[in-house]
Amino acid sequence: MIIGYFAATWFENPEIEKIAFYVALIVGIPYLLIRSNSKKYKIDK
């Protein structure tokens, strides 16, 4: 998202910032869900 902000100010196009935000959400949320449900973080009983 930070790269999107700087790209938007560099190119003077605020649409780039919105696109970077949505790309970060689309990539970030599934990554966090998969990572948090991995066996590394499971508690054995």
The per-residue pLDDT for range 1-45, each reduced to its tens digit, is 788 788 878 888 888 888 888 998 999 999 999 988 887 777 776
Separation between Cα atoms, residue 10 and residue 24, nearest integer Å: 19
Domain assignments of the chain as residue spans, ordered by start = 2-37
**pTM of the predicted structure, to 2 decimals:** 0.65
Q: How many CB atoms lie within 10 A of CB 43?
A: 4
Concatenated DSSP letters for 1-45? -HHHHHHHHHHT-HHHHHHHHHHHHHHHHHHHHHHHTSGGGPPP-
Provide the pLDDT for residue 14.
82
* pLDDT of the residue at 20: 86
